[in-house]
Amino acid sequence: MMCNKEYIDRAEQVILHTYNRFQIVLEKGQGVRLYDVEGKEYLDFAAGIAVFALGYNHPEYSKTLKEQIDKIIHTSNLYYNVPMTEAAEKLVKATGLSKVFFTNSGTEAIEGAIKVARKYAYLKDGSTDHEIIAMNHSFHGRSLGALSVTGNPHYQEPFKPLIGGIRFAQFNDLESVKAQITEKTCAVIMETVQGEGGIYPATEEFLQGVRKLCDEKDILLVLDEIQCGMGRTGSMFACQSYGVQPDVMTCAKALGCGVPVGAFVLNEKTANASLVPGDHGTTYGGNPLACAAVSKVFDIFEQEHILEHVQKITPYLEEKLDELVDKYEFITARRGKGLMQGLVLEGKPVGDVVNKALENGLLVISAGGNVLRLVPPLVITEKDVDEMIEKLEKSL
């Protein structure tokens, strides 16, 4: 068996260096733990960036994928397939929306949502100069369209010109959104809980205010629930705890719990007045393997009462994190919702803490420059929280 360093050296010869990866080679997982090629165990509070909601090697999930592989993996969208229909039915029911388009990633879901907004507006007045309002410090993906609505110049600068007609407002500041609205505005896009930007949940007043604004002016509200959706905040989608329903919702990450899949979901109004055959497509989107995963994920969420578990474990995690805020001067705040939590570090580089945690067998990640981000599998127990705190304190 080769060691971590030997695999890393091989990878660096052939993989384009667009990530500064941690110096471990992960080989397998079980429950909320991962193991590298040298057999070292890690408690995982990153979940593949909020993807592995059900933990690793879930027997029922794995069995479903193996059975689907023996049937059929790909058909293309020239034909129907059974798992796509079943997955779409469950996603429609979970969101309360109307129609689904399956993609291969969250970024692709954002691209689709942008096209939906522009087509909706185009059908209303025939013009092609519509504008979208996005939020500062947001993150929606790395493709040119998704980058265009990502409110962080650092990500955008080398790739300009991006798509035009994007204005930026301040998250959780309703007046700043109002100030950006013109007669050309066709959509407002935002994360219900900003992830990469530093774990900022929307305030109720803000989200409900933007919804009202969109209703008054027939502007589409697009909510990005890619990271904060699928039970992470304690409701199936974060916006549901605010009593707000978007016109378009994007989801991915935990939607497939490891299999690459995303989706954008539209309400009836938007579905009936936007994309038609020929407007949008994908070769792999909605493939039987990915959709079998999506369908089974919804089943397991129900059978194992995942939402109730998140609601039950959240206060315990928050209490333990708040104790760290009280104990350490350089931890100035805790922010978050459900099992999407951030600790704000002042005067201590978050990267150093993440690396030290790795040495101590704990996987955590960062956000927004100075925030330690905790997005564990949704199946963690109080015992896992205690172990995480112990390893984190050692790292701090």
Task: Give residue limits of the domains in the chain.
Answer: 4-54+305-395, 61-303
What was the pLDDT predicted at 156?
A: 94
Decide if domain 61-303 falls under CATH 3.40.640.10.
yes
Which residues does 312 contact at the CB level (< 8 Å), separation at least 6?
none
Residue from 139, 171, 264, 298 carrying the catalytic annotation? 139
For each of the chain's 396 residues, which pLDDT tens digit applies?
A: 789 999 999 999 999 999 999 999 999 999 999 999 999 999 999 999 999 999 999 999 999 999 999 999 999 999 999 999 999 999 999 999 999 999 999 999 999 999 999 999 999 999 999 999 999 999 999 999 999 999 999 999 999 999 999 999 999 999 999 999 999 999 999 999 999 999 999 999 999 999 999 999 999 999 999 999 999 999 999 999 999 999 999 999 999 999 999 999 999 999 999 999 999 999 999 999 999 999 999 999 999 999 999 999 999 999 999 999 999 999 999 999 999 999 999 999 999 999 999 999 999 999 999 999 999 999 999 999 999 999 999 999
Strands (E), the chain: 26-30, 33-36, 41-44, 99-103, 131-135, 166-169, 185-191, 193-194, 200-201, 220-224, 248-251, 262-266, 331-337, 340-345, 362-363, 365-367, 371-374
- Tell me if residue 139 is catalytic: yes
The backbone region for 126, taken as left when phi is positive above 0, alpha when psi lies in -120 to 50, beta otherwise, is left
The percent helix, strand, coil of the chain (3-state, each to 5) is 45, 20, 40
Domains 4-54+305-395 and 61-303 share a fold: no
* Residue 185 DSSP SS3: strand
pTM of the model: 0.97
Q: What is the rounded end-to-end Cα distance, in angstroms, of the chain? A: 33
Antiparallel, parallel or unpaired: β 185-191 and 131-135: parallel
* Residue 68 DSSP SS3: helix
Strands across the sheet containing 340-345: 331-337, 340-345, 371-374, 365-367
Fold for domain 4-54+305-395?
Answer: Aspartate Aminotransferase, domain 1 (3.90.1150)
- Tell me if residue 224 is catalytic: yes
- Tell me if residue 90 is catalytic: no
What was the pLDDT predicted at 142?
A: 96
Q: Which of 148, 192, 152 is nearest to 367 (CA)?
A: 152
Between helices 288-303 and 59-71, what is the axis angle to 10°?
A: 150
* Residue 264 DSSP SS3: strand
Per the CB < 8 A criterion, the answer to whether 367 and 334 are in contact is: no
What was the pLDDT predicted at 211?
A: 98
Which residues does 296 contact at the CB level (< 8 Å), separation at least 6?
60, 61, 64, 65
Residue from 90, 253, 337, 391 carrying the catalytic annotation? 253
Structure token pair of residue 44: 């995982």
Spell 300-333 as b/e; 16+ CB within 10 A means b: bbeeeebbebbeebbeebbebbeebeeeeeebee
Between helices 350-359 and 382-395, what is the axis angle to 10°?
A: 110
What was the pLDDT predicted at 1?
A: 77
Structure token pair of residue 163: 């798509």
